[in-house]
Structure 1
Amino acid sequence: MQLQKENILIVDDDVNILELLQRHLQSWNYHIYKAVSVKEAVTILRDTNIDLLITDLKMPEIDGLELIKFVSEHYPTLPKLVVTGYPSAQDSLTSIKSRVVAYLTKPFTKDELKVAINKSLLISKTKYQKKVKLLKKVNDTYGEIIGSSEKINDVVQIIERVKNNKATIFIKGESGTGKELVARAIHYQGKFARAPFVAVNCGGIPENLLESELFGYLKGSFTGAETNRDGFFQAANGGTIFLDEIGNASLAVQSRLLRVLQEKEVVKVGASKAESIDVRIIAATNSNLRDMIQKQTFREDLFYRLTVVEIHVPPLRERKEDIPLLVDKFLLKYGVEYKERFVKVTTEAMEILNRYDWPGNIRELENVIQRAVIMCENIIEIEHLPEHIKYTLDFSSEKLLSLKEIEKQYIQKVLRATGNNKTKAAEILKIDRKTIRQKLSE
C-alpha cells in the first residue's frame, strides 16, 4: 500500500499543462490542487496546507511573480518551483531573490520534473528539520503561543478545555496581542486539527462584499456574480472559521451570523434554500462590543451567542516576563529567514525591551526585532533600537524619589541609550559636556 505524499499546488492558465503536471504528479502519488489563476491559488493556499507550489510565470491579470512574492511574504517556508515557457534573466533574478528553489523551462521531461520536485521538497524538509531543532531552544511554547507568565498560562488552560468541542468562542484583546494565534491553537491542538481552518478579517473586506464572501452567492445575484460561488463558511465546513474584527460586520451580516449560530445553516446571497453547516465559530475583536450594543451598532442577541466561552488575551505590558522568550522566537525566525543570520541581544538592550510598555504589543515587538536583526552585524545593541524605545523611561514605580535621584537615573539611562556617547547625551539633555562630567563625578 502506497502512502499519500505531500500536497502540491500547481498554477497555470494553460489547462493542457495543468493536466500534464497532474498526470505526472498523481503517478508519483502526490495529492494535487490546481488553479488557473493567482486569485484561485491564493484561495487554496489560505484554506489548505500546501507542501510545494509549482507555478507558471506568464499569466493574465496577475502574473506568477506576484504569486511568488505573496508566498514568500505569507508562507516563507513553502518551497516554490517555477515552470515557464518564456524564461528571462529578469524573471530568473526575481525568482532567486524570492527563494525559488528550482526553475524548469518548457518543454521538460518527466524525469526533469521529478528531479526538480524532489530537490524542492528535500530542501524544504532540511530547512524545516533545522528549524524544529532550533525551536527546541525556545521553551514554554503551546502551538505558536509562547510564554510562561501566569496570564498566558490562564489562556492555555482555557484552550485545553475547549479545543475538543465546537462551542462558540469569543477572543478579546488589544491589537497585536495574538488573538489569531489563540484561535489557531484551539483548532490545531484539538481533535479537529485535520479539518479546515479559515481566517477572515472582517475589517479587511469592504462592507458591501463581506456578506457574499462569508456566505457565498448564486450566479446573477448581483453585478459581477458570473458564477455560483461558495463562501468562507462553506470552505470551513467540518472545521473552524475565525472571524477577526467582528465589530466591523454590518447589522445585515450580524443578522445572518445569528442565523448560522441558531440554525446551523447558511443561505447564499440570491438563494432561498438554506444549506446545513457544521462549523465552529471563533470571533475576535479589539473593540468594546458592549459599548457598540449601547450605540445600537452591534446586536445584543448575537453578542450573547458569540460569548459562550470568552478568552482574554493579555497585552504584552501585563506579561513582561514573556518578553525574553518572544525575543528568542523572533531572533530565530529572522535568523532563518535572512539566511542563518543568528544574532544576540546585549543585556542593556534587553533591559530596555523589558521596560518598554509595547502599545503595539507582540506585533510591535516583532517589528522591532526584525529591524534590529537587519541593522546590526552580530549583536543587537541599544543603538539598533528605535529612538522612541531607547529614550522611554518608566516612572510608574511606587517608590517616590528625590529630584536629584531622578536626574541621576535619567542621565544614566540616556548615557546607556547612546552607548556612553557624552556628546550625543549632552544634545539630548540640552546641557554641555562639562556639566555631564560634573554630574557624573557627583
Structure 2
Amino acid sequence: MALRKENILIVDDDIDILELLQRHLKSMDYHTFKAISVKEALFILKDTEIDLLITDIQMPEIDGLQLLKYANEHHPDMPKLVVTGYPSVDGVLEVIKSGAMDYLTKPFTKAELKDSLAKAFAHRPKKTPPKPKPENINNNKYADMVGESDAFHNVTNIVERVKDNKATILIRGESGTGKELVARAIHYSGKYSRAPFIAVNCGAIPENLQEAELFGYKKGAFTGANEDRNGFFQAAEGGTLFLDEIGTASLTVQTKLLRALQEKEITKVGSQKAQKVDIRIIAATNADLIEEIKKNTFREDLYYRLTVVEINVPPLRERKSDIPLLVEKFLRKYGVEYKDRLLRIAPEALQVLERYYWPGNIRELENIIQRAIIMSDGIIGVKDLPDLLKYQIEFPERGFVPLREMEKEYVKRVLAHTQGNKSKAAEILQIDRKTLRDKLS
C-alpha cells in the first residue's frame, strides 16, 4: 500500500514566497496547503491533518508567533518551521521558545529548505496507528463532500466500494447536484489518486471537434492540424477521465467511446494505428439517457457499457437535512476569501434556506451564500437573502386546504415580513390595499 504524502501547511502574506515554497515542496513529493493569513491557516488546521507547519512571523493583524502558540496548544506533536525576512538574535530566541524546530531566513535555497524539513520530520514522534472506527458511525464528511442524510451516505457508500478499481461509472443527477465532486471523490480517495484526473465537459466542445479533442489527431488529419497532438484519453493515462454531459457526445464519438471501453484502445483522428489506454472512465449526465436511446440519439450498447456502476446523486430538496452542513462549508470557504473571517448565519435565515425548493441544487445554494457574505455586515440574516427565498411559500403538512385559505396565509406572512405595513405588503403582492383587505377578510 502506498504511503500517504505528508501534508505541509505554508503560511505567508507574500504570494511570491508561497508559490516558491509550494514549487519546492511539490518537487520533493509533499502535498501542500497555502494560507495568506493566520485566520485562513486556522481554518485549514481545524479541518485537515497537517504533518508540518511552515510560517512567516511578520504578518498583518495576527502574527506568526500567535499561530505557533495556537499550534503548540492544539497540535503539540506537529513540527513547525519559521521562514522570515527579519532575522535577529532576539527573534531567533523567541521563535525557538515558541516551539519552532528551525529558522530559515529569506532568501533561502532549496537545499536549505530540504535540510530543515529533514530535521523537523526526524524529530517528529512516531504516530500510533489509529483505532479502526466502528462501522455504525456515520461521518458527515467524505473527501470534499459533506452531509448527514441517508441520501448522502448512500452515495458515499458506493464511492467507498468503487474508489480502488477501474470499473466504468455513470453518475446521474440534476444540474448543480455535485456530480463532478462525486467523480473527484472517487479518484482522489482511492489508490489511483496520484494519477491524472482529467475532467471534460462534452457539451462545451463543438460536435465537429469532439473526436479530435478526446482521442487526439495526427498532423494533416484536417485543416489546422499542423502537428501530432494527444487528446484527453492520453492525458488521463493511468488515471481517471471524467466525461461530463455524456449525453451531448456525437454518435461518431459514442462509437469510438464504445470501442475504447470494450478493447481498451483508441485511434487518433487521421491514424490507422490503435493505441492501448489504461484509464478509468466516469461519465455523468443530467439527461434521461433511456429517452435519448428511444430517440436514437444515444447508443444503447454504450449506455450499458457505461453503467457497470451507477450512482444517482439526489437533488438538494431530497437531502434538506444536509443544508446546515453545506452552509457551514460555504461560510468557511467564502468568509475567508471575501471577508477574511468566519461568518455565522442567523437561525431564522437558515430556516428560510431549509424551506426553499432549490431548483438549482447545491450550486444555487453556494451562489446564494456567496452573495449573502458579500451583502452582510456581520451575522447573515434574512435581509441578506434574495427576495425569491424570503417570500417562498411553505405549504402546511396538515393536508390539502382550499386555495383561498392558502392565499390568505401567504398574505399574512408577507404582512408579517413588512411588520404590518400594508402599503409595502400590497407592493410586494402587486395588488392594491383594498384587495389586500379583501384577501385578509
Which interval holds the TM-score relative to the shorter structure?
A: 0.5 to 0.7
The two structures, once aligned, show a CA RMSD in angstroms of 3.6
Structure 1 residue matching 2:281: 3-state secondary structure: strand
1:418 to 1:254, Cα distance in 2 relative to 1, 3 A: farther
Letter aligned with residue 245 of structure 1: E
* Alignment match, 2:150: 150
* Alignment match, 1:100: none
Structure 1 residue matching 2:255: 3-state secondary structure: helix
**Percent of aligned positions that are identical:** 59
Structure 2 residue matching 1:380: 3-state secondary structure: coil
1:350 to 1:324, Cα distance in 2 relative to 1, 3 A: same
* Alignment match, 2:326: 326
1:343 to 1:227, Cα distance in 2 relative to 1, 3 A: same
Find the aligned partners of 1:418 and 1:185 in 2 and give their Cα distance. 45
| Contact residue 5 and residue 29 of structure 1 kept, 8 A | no
Return the offset for 1:30: 5.9
The alignment's TM-score, normalised by the length of structure 1, stands at 0.67
Letter aligned with residue 287 of structure 1: A
Q: How does 1:203-242 map to 2 (within 5 A)?
A: 203-242=203-242
Return the offset for 1:406: 3.4
Unmatched segments (≥5 aa) in structure 2:
9-19, 35-105, 114-138
| Contact residue 5 and residue 31 of structure 1 kept, 8 A | no
| Contact residue 199 and residue 241 of structure 2 kept, 8 A | yes
Find the aligned partners of 1:419 and 1:268 in 2 and give their Cα distance. 68
1:5 to 1:398, Cα distance in 2 relative to 1, 3 A: closer
Return the offset for 1:411: 3.6
The alignment's TM-score, normalised by the length of structure 2, stands at 0.67
| Contact residue 344 and residue 380 of structure 1 kept, 8 A | yes
**Structure of greater Rg:** 2
Return the offset for 1:425: 2.1
Q: How does 1:28-427 map to 2 (within 5 A)?
A: 31=27, 140-395=140-395, 397-401=397-401, 406=406, 409-415=409-415, 417-418=417-418, 423-427=423-427
Find the aligned partners of 2:266 and 2:180 in 1 and give their Cα distance. 24
Return the offset for 1:415: 4.0
Letter aligned with residue 393 of structure 2: L
| Contact residue 187 and residue 193 of structure 1 kept, 8 A | yes
Return the offset for 1:266: 1.0
Letter aligned with residue 320 of structure 1: K
Return the offset for 1:380: 1.8
1:336 to 1:202, Cα distance in 2 relative to 1, 3 A: same
Structure 2 residue matching 1:338: 3-state secondary structure: helix
Return the offset for 1:427: 2.3
Deviates further, 174-183 or 387-396? 387-396
| Contact residue 26 and residue 32 of structure 2 kept, 8 A | no
| Contact residue 342 and residue 378 of structure 1 kept, 8 A | no
Find the aligned partners of 2:221 and 2:33 in 1 and give their Cα distance. 36
Letter aligned with residue 309 of structure 2: V
Letter aligned with residue 31 of structure 1: S
Structure 2 residue matching 1:389: 3-state secondary structure: helix
Letter aligned with residue 211 of structure 2: E
Deviates further, 222-231 or 302-311? 222-231
Deviations 1:63-119 (A, max 9, x none): xxxxxxxxxxxxxxxxxxxxxxxxxxxxxxxxxxxxxxxxxxxxxxxx86969xx9x
Return the offset for 1:432: 3.6
Letter aligned with residue 195 of structure 2: A
Deviations 1:338-368 (A, max 9, x none): 1414322222221111111000100011111
Aligned pairs, number: 331
Find the aligned partners of 2:155 and 2:149 in 1 and give their Cα distance. 10
Unmatched segments (≥5 aa) in structure 1:
8-23, 33-48, 53-110, 119-138
Letter aligned with residue 350 of structure 1: L
| Contact residue 198 and residue 241 of structure 2 kept, 8 A | yes
Letter aligned with residue 266 of structure 2: V
